[in-house]
Structure formats: C-alpha cells, structure tokens
Chains A and B, each alone.
Chain A
Amino acid sequence: MQISMTVNGTDVTSEIEPRVLLVHYIREVLGLTGTHWGCDTSNCGTCVVLMDGQPVKSCTVLAAMAAGHDIRTVEGLATGGTLDPVQQGFMEEHGLQCGFCTPGMMLTARALLDKNPHPDDTEIRQAISGQICRCTGYATIVRSVQWAAAHPAGPGLEDAADTEVKA
C-alpha cells in the first residue's frame, strides 16, 4: 500500500506492507536511525517519536496508521543547525551516558515543555515514566529538562558570552 506523511517537515511517500511498524519504517525505509528500537513491547520508550506533537511509542503504531500525520523524530529537533534547548540541556547536564534512551527522552521532554514550559521535577518524572534509562538514575535527565525549561531560546546572551571567553 502507499502511504504519505510528513517527517521532520518533509513530505514522504512510500510503498509499504501494511504490517510495517512505524519504528521500522522510520529507521529502515527513511534511514533515520536516530529513533531507536528497544524492547518491541511498548515498555522501554526508546522508540518514542512525536505524532502531531504528542509522544507515541513507534513500535506499537503501524506506519499505515501514521499516514497523513505529522511525525517528528530526534533528527528534527535541531533547527537550522541550532540544537533544541532540550538537546543543549542534555549536553550541559550530562543527561546521557550510553545514549540509547536519549532520542525518546528528548522528544518526550520537548512535548512536555511545549505543553508546560515550567514543569516541576515531579511533572518531568511523570512525563518520562514510560521510558527506561539504565545509566543515569534519571537525576541528570530531570536536570537536563530543567535546563531546557530555564533556557527556552537555547543558550542566552550570558551563556554565549561565557562560551566566547572560554574559547
């Protein structure tokens, strides 16, 4: 069957088998391997992408069901070569070690901040409660999201000045 959807702002059309899952469509057909594939049972959350702005587990959505919708993957977080504040936050606050859960964590964080720009730590922990990290104990992920909440436009002028001095 033929499906069309928008992925990271680009219209894509493909001929696929109806049983293809969205995660495999994104990774294997579109070649966007930033979306990870983990437990295959909608538990771990590393396959989370945004569908019409909402986080969904792409191992449990058919590519056919995503047709006509707007999909955003981790590759679509940065705009014009500038990292999303969430990505910057994960760098600043060491929100990852091995990086396997990171794409899903960052997309859920982006959706949370779009809905609630100033979440408290509990709200962040609830938002990511369907996603598993085995490195950080979640503490640095929560701090990373808080960093992004505090810097909604990315590193501010003061931060930029710091960078220049260090450079």
Chain B
Amino acid sequence: MQIPAPFDYVRATTVDNALELLARYGPESRVVAGGHSLLPMMKLRLSRPEWLIDINDLYELDFILRDGNKLRVGAMTRHTTLLESDEVAALFPIVRDAELVIADPVVRNRGTIGGSLCQADPAEDLSTVCDVLAAEAVIRGPRGERILSMSEFHRGPYETAVGQDELLCELRFGIRPRSGSAYEKVERRVGDWAVGAAGAAVTLAADGTVDDAAVGLTALGLDHPLAEAAAVLRGRRPDEELFARAGTLAAAACDPVADQRGPVDYKRHLADELTKRALRRACDRAAQMQEG
C-alpha cells in the first residue's frame, strides 16, 4: 500500500491567500494542483512536504481567454478543458494533438497545464508545446508579477524558475495569422510516458514561404527548441525535402537514453520521423489558415 508520509493540509482560497500560505510555511510546503504528478511522488516518499497547499479552489486560475492577439490560459485549466476547447484547437491545434495523448481521459479530468509545466518532467508533453508556441509564463510572488519566456522558465528536469514562494498563474500564447502547429507522439500504450515525441509550430509569409518555425522534442534528450531546424526552415517554401532536412537535424541534435522504451538508434529514428510528420502537418494547417 502506497501512503504519503504525514503532512498538514491547507486549502488556499485565492491566489493571494496561496502566496501568504507559501510565505508562512516556507520551503517545507508544496502546492498541489491536480495532484497526478505530486501525489504519486509523495506515495513513493520521493517527495515529503510538511505542508500541502491545495489550490484546487482557485477557480480564478481556471480560464481560457482571448485578449487581443494573445490567448491567456489559467494555470489551473484542466487537460480535459484544454482538449475540448474549440478555440484552442483552432488557434493552436498542437494543443489538442498533445492533449489527446497525455495520460488518459480520467487523469486528464484532474491534471492541469500549470501542474504539468511545474512538474517539468522531461517526458512531459506540454513543455514542448509551450516551447514551440513561444508561450510566456506569468508568475506571481511576494515581489509582484513577472513574465518569463519558456527558455527562462525551464531550468532542467523537475526544475523551473518558479520560486518556492511563487505561483505559476497563467500561460500566454501569441496569436499569429497564417500559423499552424502539430504534435506527434509515439507511446507504447495509453497513459504511458512517451517513447518520443516532436512538436512543430510554423508561421508562413504571405508568399507561402516559412516566416518562422520552431521544432521541439519530448523525452528525446533535447530540452529546448531546435534552433538549427528553425534556421533551415526560415525563408524557404515548405516541401518534403525541407522536412527531411529538419528531421535529419533533429536526429543529430537529440541525445536520447536507452531504456525499456527503446534503444538509442530507434529513438533517434523517432526524432527524425516525428519531426518530419509534425512539420508536414503544421505547414498544411498553416496553409489552410492562410486560405481561410
């Protein structure tokens, strides 16, 4: 039987209240959102907080809101809500692609975008999604609000820029015309961690060439968007030869680890193939948006 070590439980009522509680209980306190990453770690005693601050009552952080040329997504937005949002799917189809293969439908009812990003598991899908969409993370703390790029937000496996006394409150996604995105993942079964995955976001210029592009990998030993691929894609007309070049670059840049999910050469093959597939679909979608 897996039971967490003893802790005290407190339920935050507002963001300000959560920040007060974090300040009061200090480094031995942890915030719990959906709980599907933290509770398993607590059950295995890999995490032993003395205070658990439950933020599930912070409905103020559960929103999807279009604000000018940005889409604002609250940190407590559940995976199921993101998956079912037609607005999100129309603007950023990569989100629905990824959400369909994150954990399973029942887990998605609890898990949140903020919790996933703060857990920062190397096999976590939304980190790659936010990377290629160049999302901004809105963090609040005792010193006020700060807005970080994803490269500033990520610090490495299981580590982010969110301080002990801070709370990730919101993700912001820039809306751009003639844009498309896609996510391609290989997993052994529903709910398992990815063997490997690739995400791509593309913006086309009015003449149909690539204006901007980003490619990212999940669980393949590359924790930032692949700059070389973006450089190769920019200014060129999307075609199979271009996708193949980006795939080759992704395979060369990744650094996968052999484990029970597969050997290194197979994972490298996935980096190549999934990059091509994600780019192909992202470009198709961007072209459709251009026509529409």
Scan residues 1-59 of chain A and give those whose CB is less than 8 A from a CB of chain B.
1, 17-19, 21, 24, 40-43, 45, 48, 54-57
With A19-B4, A62-B39, A130-B190 known as contacts, the answer to whether A1 contacts B107 (CB < 8 A) is no
Are A45 and B106 in touch, CB under 8 angstroms?
A: yes
**In the complex, how many angstroms separate the beta carbon of B57 from the nearest chain A beta carbon?**
8
Binds A, one of B6-14, B18-26, B138-146: B6-14
Q: Does B224 contact A (CB under 8 A)?
A: no
Are B5 and A40 in touch, CB under 8 angstroms?
A: no
23 pairs, CB–CB < 8 Å, chain A vs chain B? A1-B9, A17-B6, A18-B7, A24-B3, A40-B1, A40-B43, A45-B104, A55-B105, A56-B106, A56-B109, A57-B107, A60-B36, A60-B110, A62-B9, A62-B39, A64-B9, A65-B56, A126-B105, A129-B191, A130-B103, A130-B107, A130-B190, A131-B106
Contacts of B4 in A (CB 8 A): 19
Are B52 and A18 in touch, CB under 8 angstroms?
A: yes
**In the complex, how many angstroms separate the beta carbon of A14 from the nearest chain B beta carbon?**
14
With A40-B1, A56-B110 known as contacts, the answer to whether A130 contacts B9 (CB < 8 A) is no
Residue of A nearest to B38 (CB): A60
The residue among A57, A64, A65 with the most chain B CB atoms within 10 A of its own CB is A65
Q: Does A108 contact B (CB under 8 A)?
A: yes
Q: Does A127 contact B (CB under 8 A)?
A: yes
Contacts of A54 in B (CB 8 A): 80, 109
Q: Does B2 contact A (CB under 8 A)?
A: yes
Contacts of A24 in B (CB 8 A): 3
The total of chain A residues at the interface (CB under 8 A) is 28
Contacts of B221 in A (CB 8 A): none
In the complex, A1 Cα to B10 Cα: how many Å?
Answer: 10
Scan residues 10-48 of chain B and give those whose CB is less than 8 A from a CB of chain A.
11, 32, 35-36, 39-40, 43
Contacts of A83 in B (CB 8 A): none
A positions within 8 Å CB-CB of B: 1, 17-19, 21, 24, 40-43, 45, 48, 54-57, 60-62, 64-65, 67, 108, 126-127, 129-131
Selected from B6, B32, B35, the residue in CB contact (under 8 A) with A19 is B6
Are A57 and B105 in touch, CB under 8 angstroms?
A: no
Are B190 and A19 in touch, CB under 8 angstroms?
A: no
B positions within 8 Å CB-CB of A: 1-9, 11, 32, 35-36, 39-40, 43, 52, 54, 56, 80, 103-107, 109-110, 190-191
Contacts of B104 in A (CB 8 A): 45, 129-131
Contacts of B2 in A (CB 8 A): 40-41
Total A-B pairs in contact (CB under 8 Å)? 76
**In the complex, how many angstroms separate the beta carbon of A117 from the nearest chain B beta carbon?**
17
**In the complex, how many angstroms separate the beta carbon of A13 from the nearest chain B beta carbon?**
16
Are A127 and B36 in touch, CB under 8 angstroms?
A: no
Are A127 and B105 in touch, CB under 8 angstroms?
A: yes
Are B56 and A55 in touch, CB under 8 angstroms?
A: no
Are B56 and A48 in touch, CB under 8 angstroms?
A: no
In the complex, A64 Cα to B5 Cα: how many Å?
Answer: 15
Are A41 and B40 in touch, CB under 8 angstroms?
A: yes
Are A60 and B39 in touch, CB under 8 angstroms?
A: yes
Are A42 and B3 in touch, CB under 8 angstroms?
A: no
Selected from A48, A57, A64, A129, the residue in CB contact (under 8 A) with B54 is A64
Contacts of A18 in B (CB 8 A): 6-9, 52
**In the complex, how many angstroms separate the beta carbon of A156 from the nearest chain B beta carbon?**
30
Are A65 and B3 in touch, CB under 8 angstroms?
A: no
| Closest CB pairs A-B (n = 8) | A130-B104, A18-B9, A130-B106, A129-B190, A19-B4, A54-B109, A64-B9, A55-B106
Are A19 and B106 in touch, CB under 8 angstroms?
A: no
**In the complex, how many angstroms separate the beta carbon of A75 from the nearest chain B beta carbon?**
19
14 more A-B residue pairs beyond the given contacts A1-B9, A18-B7, A130-B107, with a C-beta to C-beta distance below 8 A: A17-B6, A19-B6, A21-B3, A42-B40, A54-B109, A55-B109, A61-B35, A61-B39, A62-B39, A126-B105, A129-B105, A130-B106, A130-B190, A131-B106
Contacts of B40 in A (CB 8 A): 41-42, 60
Are B190 and A61 in touch, CB under 8 angstroms?
A: no
**In the complex, how many angstroms separate the beta carbon of A37 from the nearest chain B beta carbon?**
8
